Amino acid sequence: MPQTLTVVHVPIGGAAADHPEVVAAVTEAAQRALASGSVTDSRAMVGGGTLSLVALHGAGERDAEVHRALWDALEAGTQAARAIGSPGLGDALPVDAFHGSLRGTGLSYAEIVMMERPSGPMVVLLATESSVGMLNLPLAKAFANPFTTPRLVTEPTMRRGFNFEVHDLDEPRKRMFAAPADLHDLLRYAAEVDRYVLKSVVTGEGVVVAAASVERRADVLGEHGGDDWPVAIVRAGGDGPTVDELMAAFRPHIVQLPGGWVALTQPRVLAFHVAGERLLDPVDLFADPSFDGLLRAQGPFIPRADASGSGSEGASGGWTER
């Protein structure tokens, strides 16, 4: 039976929100809100000044009942934190009311439908205070770079490559890129992380093996939107990169922030195992000692997509309305 994993990730007030009382109050309130309806299992986590909700259910993508439960959990967590004086929680919810879907709220969320396998964890990537497309590069490296993922060469099922769905957030359009054939074109757009977002990675058979958020806070809050908090879900192993290969894509990671600033960032990476209709408690993959003291050398620049187009297709070739 297909199951769906939905992840929502929001800021809740900076590092001060990691106080034990705030963590206990927010997670307990959010977990209570998720313990009903079609959600079969869930986790509410506070860390790094963020609240992250992970819900397992069988309702598929964009289900109104599931999205309502997640919204209620965010509101419950916000109210619990305010009740004990944690600052900054008002910024967690960019809009005042729920209107049937998390889409269009400015909240960072991702969903992926899957069939349960005997092994192969679901890896959740949680980024903070960065560009909406901050996860473009590590996802592209994990699914298209054989020096990061050797199984792209050694495994017949992966040698055919993957298809990458990219969304343009400045115009209502999207495009599919096939790697390795379209790899250079893919990287040309994915490098502009404040405009283009790698929405999903799909196998040749049409199976989605990675999904990322495409909500941009500035599209809801205008110039006061500030940074984004992107999230992605990757199905590791099988016909995708292993956990080790996925982690190799983060060594090191440099991203571009709006306005041209270049920042070094390392997201939170959690691995969940799905057993039946249960989520086993996550493993923090960056807690591995091999990441201690990881050198993150800042490069002098990052390539940007040329709006005028440099190939035979020009800037608009291959794009469709989204």
Of the candidates 307, 312, 268, the residue with the CA atom closest to the CA atom of residue 291: 268
Q: Which of 3-12, 45-54, 163-172, 176-185 has the lowest mean pLDDT?
A: 45-54
Distances (CA, A) of 167 to 180, 189, 291: 19, 10, 32
Q: Quick check: is 290 in a domain? A: yes
Question: In the structure, what pLDDT confidence band is assigned to residue 285 with cuts at 50, 70 and 90?
Answer: confident
In a shared domain, residues 162 and 277: yes
pLDDT tens profile 229-252:
899 999 999 889 999 999 888 876
How much is the pLDDT for 1? 79
Model pTM? Answer: 0.86
Residue 310 pLDDT greater than 50, yes or no: no
Q: Quick check: is 317 in a domain? A: no
Q: Quick check: is 209 in a domain? A: yes
In a shared domain, residues 301 and 186: yes
How much is the pLDDT for 296? 38
Q: What percent of the chain stands above pLDDT 70? A: 81
- The CA distance from 43 to 53, in Å, is 6
Q: Quick check: is 63 in a domain? A: yes
In a shared domain, residues 165 and 250: yes
Evaluate whether 168 touches 195 at the Cβ level (below 8 Å). yes
Which among 115, 144, 177 is the end of a domain? Answer: 115
The total domain count for the chain is: 2
Q: Which of 19-23, 286-290, 293-297 has the lowest mean pLDDT?
A: 293-297
The whole domain housing 95 covers: 1-115
Mean pLDDT of the region 158-166: 96
Q: Quick check: is 125 in a domain? A: yes
Q: What is the mean pLDDT of the chain?
A: 82
Reduce the secondary structure of the chain to three states and give it as a string.
CCEEEEEEEEECCCHHHHCHHHHHHHHHHHHHHHCCCCEEEEEEEEECCEEEEEEEECCCCCCHHHHHHHHHHHHHHHHHHHHCCCCCHHHCCCCCCCCCCCCCCCCEEEEEEECCCCCCCEEEEECCCECCCCCHHHHHHHHHCCCCCCHHHHCHHHHCCEEEEEEECCCCEEEEEEECCCHHHHHHHHCCCCCEEEEEEECCCCCEEEEECCCCHHHHHHHHCCCECCEEEEECCCCCCCHHHHHHCCCCCEEECCCCCEEECCCEEEEECEECCEECCCEEHHHCHHHCCCCCCCCCCCCCCCCCCCCCCCCCCCCEEC
In a shared domain, residues 73 and 180: no
Which among 87, 115, 143 is the end of a domain? Answer: 115
- The CA distance from 79 to 93, in Å, is 11
Q: Quick check: is 190 in a domain? A: yes
In a shared domain, residues 102 and 184: no
pLDDT tens profile 178-198:
999 999 999 999 999 999 999
pLDDT tens profile 113-135:
998 887 779 999 998 888 899 89
Question: In the structure, what pLDDT confidence band is assigned to residue 157 with cuts at 50, 70 and 90?
Answer: confident
CATH at 75:
3.30.70
Residue 66 pLDDT greater than 70, yes or no: yes
- The CA distance from 314 to 73, in Å, is 45
Which among 92, 115, 138 is the end of a domain? Answer: 115
Select the more confidently predicted residue: 162 or 268: 162
In a shared domain, residues 107 and 159: no
Residue 266 pLDDT greater than 80, yes or no: no
Mean pLDDT of the region 56-74: 91
Evaluate whether 151 touches 241 at the Cβ level (below 8 Å). yes
In a shared domain, residues 148 and 250: yes
Tell me the sheet residues that pair with 279.
274
In a shared domain, residues 96 and 171: no
In a shared domain, residues 103 and 134: no
Question: In the structure, what pLDDT confidence band is assigned to residue 305 with cuts at 50, 70 and 90?
Answer: very low
In a shared domain, residues 188 and 272: yes
In a shared domain, residues 123 and 238: yes
Tell me the sheet residues that pair with 272.
122
In a shared domain, residues 170 and 246: yes
Residue 145 pLDDT greater than 80, yes or no: yes
